[in-house]
Structure 1
Amino acid sequence: MKSVHERALDAAGLRDPQLRSDYERCRLVNADHGKTYYLSALLLPADRRPHVYALYAFARTADEFVDDLVEPDPAGLVRWGDEALAALRGGPTDDPIVRATAHTVRELGLDVSLFEDFLAAMRQDIDTTRYETFDDLRGYMWGSAAVIGLMMLPVLGPLDERAREHAIALGEAFQLANFIRDVGEDLQRGRVYLPMADLHRFGVTVDHLRAGAVTANVQALLQFQIARTRELYRFAAEGVALVRPESRPCLRTAIRLYGGILDEVERAGYQVLTGRVSVPNRTRAAVALPALARAVSARRESARWHAAPAGA
């Protein structure tokens, strides 16, 4: 009997053994490193899931070159990125993750320029360690986050051109939640993603952050960042109705679970300087299980709609 993952490959029309193996490699990367995204993707129709896994694995692979705390490899990022872009444009590659991503690009009709912008942002991490203003940070987030939202749009099935601006906002919200959660880890990499103007506004220096104590000023700074991020989540959530009904449970679940990082930061007393918070598994289950029932119902309704004769 085939597993649910094998059935998803079947549903996506993937018959070639090598390509099936490539997508399975991507799925395992997603399952190991992006549990919230992975759980949310399981709520999508089966034929969409392999494409999510490929996009996640591509982004994760690039990110690891510059974010690995033990052995970062900036030169490796440049080399891998150039080879990956050539493959996305139709060239050969031996990299299973890039092969799967190239297939996804063709199947979904994705613009390779989105990947160019993403890789440019990853390269920016090599030598850019500070952002003076929020507008400066948003320039970086266009490549690191907004384009990911746009890559995902064909998977979700946009029903209105306005879905684009909400997808961009959701990518930014996910990224800002990461920045808030990972202040301590990013300091170990020599980077600060909280805008310098915001630090100055609240009387916080980078040395204060390195000291690891959540002072009243540091707490006020983080509260400000959380409020900004929640506003982006609010706007992003307004776009859920602009994608296909069978994609909405996935999107709502991702927003709730990833937005839950902000709740966990608050519960931890804003201590993100010396450790990393995460959404507990019990919370993930409490959100995902009801969403699964809604996802199944939405898929059935969609199937009935497609099967109905014209004018019915």
Structure 2
Amino acid sequence: MSIATEPMRPPHACADREELAALAEDTIAKGSKSFAAAARLFSPEMRRSAMMLYAWCRHCDDVIDGQQLGFSRRPVAEMREPMQRLGELAIDTLRALDGDTALHPAYLSVADVAHRHGLPRALLIEHLEGYRMDVDETRYETIEETLGYCYRVAGVVGVMMAIIMGVKRESVLDRASDLGIAFQLTNIARDIVDDARAGRVYVPAEWLSEAGLEASDLANPARKGDVAKLAARLVDHAEPYYRSAFLGLSGLPARSAWAVATAHGVYRQIGLDVKAKGPQSFGTRVSTSRAAKLRHLFLGAVKVVVTRVPLPLKRPQTLWTRRRRRPADAPRSPGDRRIRP
């Protein structure tokens, strides 16, 4: 992946950062309680930036899904065609990066964060590529293709969060990508049924074939035992990415590492619970209790202590790895369609 390094013009002075941060915090409180719990551990400045980046991600997700904070549906009459919505997201994001302030606060927030921390705009566009894959109702033949989707919708967010934390080492950014991929594999495992009902299938076709399933079977209660096995397989596939991300904690400042370690534990627990519940989790949304979050808050601190000494272990070469750089004139592979605002 080629990361553009062109300078970004800062948002105009009329965009009040404290107000944007307050709006972002309210968004997180309503849209992601797990992230909100972990974000409390960040330093005040890091917390503001993390929340403002998340506000943009949440806004993009809601626009594409026609939802509000991931829940209630917007009236159909109010929604444009999905591809039009995606194009507007890309256009307005780039407009905000270039200094336009007559936009939704989510765009102003991400522009502020990008300018303040030097986020390459190519990473933002890469994230929007994940939404394009949803809009196109892309189906995935192999687990490697599914992992490519996971990177775009979550791994690249991990990379951006690490950059906000001051990380510059590519090896640590790879571990941040691994954590985002692990999170997304957990989400896919938890939401197989709901996604299938919405016409989205992220389980690779190879796995479906091996299980004797069609995509339409994923929402069929009569096949919930087989669907549970697929969910367990996804949870197992996430494990090496969680392990890799754990080793990356040593490359983060201690306070940020505590927040990331807590999120690491909470999300991983969701996957383990999905696997443990088996067929009983069919069509339900597994989440962690307050007590479990507090337990992982404590365990997160332990993880930070353990990883304060840099570990010499190399990242396994078998893990899916983001492309770090690609020459600007390199040919694109067939089907590599980019968003062109």
RMSD: 2.4
2:146 match: secondary structure:
helix
2:177 match: secondary structure:
helix
In the other structure, the counterpart of 1:45 is 43
Residue 115 of structure 1 aligns with an amino acid whose one-letter code is L
In the other structure, the counterpart of 1:166 is 175
2:213 match: secondary structure:
coil
CA distance in 2, matches of 1:294, 1:163: 16
Residue segments in structure 1 that go unaligned for 5+ positions in a row: 1-14, 298-312
Report the alpha carbon displacement of residue 142 of structure 1 after superposing the two structures with TM. 2.8
In the other structure, the counterpart of 1:266 is 275
CA distance in 2, matches of 1:290, 1:268: 23
Are 1:205 and 2:214 matched, yes or no?
Answer: yes
Residue 20 of structure 2 aligns with an amino acid whose one-letter code is D
In the other structure, the counterpart of 2:112 is 103
Matches within 5 A, 1:1-312: 18-68=16-66, 70-71=73-74, 73=79, 74=82, 75-158=84-167, 160-213=169-222, 215-288=224-297
CA distance in 2, matches of 1:188, 1:151: 31
CA distance in 1, matches of 2:17, 2:252: 28
Aligned residue pairs, count: 282
Q: Are 1:209 and 1:273, in contact at CA under 8 Å, matched by a contact in 2? A: no
Q: Are 1:67 and 1:189, in contact at CA under 8 Å, matched by a contact in 2? A: no
CA distance in 2, matches of 1:293, 1:136: 35
1:239 match: secondary structure:
helix
1:268 match: secondary structure:
helix
Residue 65 of structure 1 aligns with an amino acid whose one-letter code is V
Report the alpha carbon displacement of residue 167 of structure 1 after superposing the two structures with TM. 0.8
In the other structure, the counterpart of 1:5 is none
Residue segments in structure 2 that go unaligned for 5+ positions in a row: 1-12, 68-72, 306-341
In the other structure, the counterpart of 1:3 is none
Q: 1:293 to 1:17 in 2, by over 3 A?
A: farther
CA distance in 1, matches of 2:103, 2:170: 36
2:283 match: secondary structure:
coil
Q: 1:30 to 1:292 in 2, by over 3 A?
A: farther
CA distance in 1, matches of 2:184, 2:111: 24
Question: Which 10-residue stretch deviates more, 66-75 or 127-136?
Answer: 66-75
CA distance in 1, matches of 2:249, 2:270: 20
Report the alpha carbon displacement of residue 173 of structure 1 after superposing the two structures with TM. 0.6
Residue 225 of structure 1 aligns with an amino acid whose one-letter code is L
Residue deviations 1:191-242, cap 9 Å, x none?
1111111111122222321212454433332221111011211111111111
Q: 1:167 to 1:122 in 2, by over 3 A?
A: same
Q: TM-score, normalised by structure 1?
A: 0.82
Higher RCO (CA 8 Å, separation ≥ 6 residues): 2
Q: Are 1:253 and 1:287, in contact at CA under 8 Å, matched by a contact in 2? A: yes
CA distance in 1, matches of 2:303, 2:276: 29
Report the alpha carbon displacement of residue 282 of structure 1 after superposing the two structures with TM. 1.7
Q: Are 1:157 and 1:247, in contact at CA under 8 Å, matched by a contact in 2? A: no
CA distance in 2, matches of 1:103, 1:17: 9
Report the alpha carbon displacement of residue 131 of structure 1 after superposing the two structures with TM. 1.1
Question: Which 10-residue stretch deviates more, 261-270 or 28-37?
Answer: 261-270
Q: Are 2:15 and 2:108, in contact at CA under 8 Å, matched by a contact in 1? A: no
Q: 1:68 to 1:185 in 2, by over 3 A?
A: farther
Q: Are 2:35 and 2:263, in contact at CA under 8 Å, matched by a contact in 1? A: yes
CA distance in 2, matches of 1:131, 1:92: 38
Report the alpha carbon displacement of residue 157 of structure 1 after superposing the two structures with TM. 3.1
1:92 match: secondary structure:
coil
2:16 match: secondary structure:
helix
CA distance in 2, matches of 1:169, 1:290: 20
2:103 match: secondary structure:
coil
CA distance in 1, matches of 2:268, 2:303: 20
Q: Are 1:253 and 1:291, in contact at CA under 8 Å, matched by a contact in 2? A: yes
Q: Are 2:228 and 2:282, in contact at CA under 8 Å, matched by a contact in 1? A: no
Q: Are 2:189 and 2:232, in contact at CA under 8 Å, matched by a contact in 1? A: no
Q: Are 1:78 and 1:123, in contact at CA under 8 Å, matched by a contact in 2? A: no
Question: Which 10-residue stretch deviates more, 163-172 or 207-216?
Answer: 207-216
Q: Are 1:180 and 1:272, in contact at CA under 8 Å, matched by a contact in 2? A: no
